[in-house]
Amino acid sequence: MSQLREPLTKRDTNMRDAIPPEEMLVITLRYLASGCSVKDLHYNFCIGRSTAGEIVRKVCQTIWETMKEQCLPTPTDEAWVAIAAGFWGRANFPNCLGAVDGKHVCIVKPLHSGSLYQNDKHFFSIGLLAVADANYNFVYVDVGSYGKDSDSTLFRNSTLWDELESGTLHIPRPAPLPGRDVAVPYAFVGDEAFGLSTHLLRPYSGTHLTVKRVFNYRLARDSLYVECSFGILTNKWRIFHRLLYVNVDFCVDIVKCCCILQFR
Taking a C-beta distance cutoff of 8 angstroms, is the pair 75, 139 a contact? yes
Q: CB-based contacts of 261: which residues, under 8 Å, 6+ apart?
A: 32, 63, 236, 237
pLDDT in tens, 44-77: 999 999 999 999 999 999 999 999 999 999 899 9
Written in H, E and C, the secondary structure of 125-192 is EEEEEEEECCCCCEEEEEEEEECCCCHHHHHHCCHHHHHHHHCCCCCCCCEECCCCCCEECCEEECCC
For the chain, percent of residues with pLDDT exceeding 90:
61
Per-residue confidence band for 256, with pLDDT thresholds at 50, 70 and 90: very high
pLDDT tier, 29 (very low <50, low <70, confident <90, very high otherwise): very high
Task: Tell which residue, 130, 145, 153, has the closest CA to residue 228.
Answer: 130
Position 147 confidence tier, pLDDT thresholds 50, 70, 90? very high
Bridge partners, residue 107, by sequence? 244
pLDDT of residue 167: 84
What pLDDT score was predicted for residue 264? Answer: 61
Q: At what angle do helices 38-45 and 49-71 cross, to 10 degrees?
A: 110
Say what the pTM is. Answer: 0.90
User: Range with the lowest mean pLDDT among 36-45, 99-108, 198-207?
Assistant: 198-207
Residue 183 burial (CB count, 10 A): 11
pLDDT digits (tens, 9 = 90+) for 95-106: 999 999 999 999
Question: Which pLDDT belongs to residue 120?
Answer: 87
pLDDT surpassing 80 at residue 116: yes
Distance CA 137, CA 220 (A): 18
Q: What is the pLDDT of residue 103?
A: 94
Q: How confident is the model at residue 130 (pLDDT cuts 50, 70, 90)?
A: very high
Which has the closest alpha carbon to 224: 232, 234, 213?
A: 232
Buried (b) or exposed (e) across 185-217, using 16+ Cβ within 10 A?
ebbbbbbeebeebeebbbbeeeeeeeeeeeebe
The model's pLDDT over 184-194, given as tens digits with 9 standing for 90+, comes to 999 999 988 88
**Average model confidence (pLDDT) across the chain:** 90
pLDDT for the residue 217: 85
9, pLDDT greater than 80: no
Check residues 10 and 260 and name the one with the higher pLDDT. 260
pLDDT at residue 173 is higher than 70: yes
Mean pLDDT of 9-21: 73
Question: What average pLDDT does range 8-18 have in this prediction?
Answer: 69
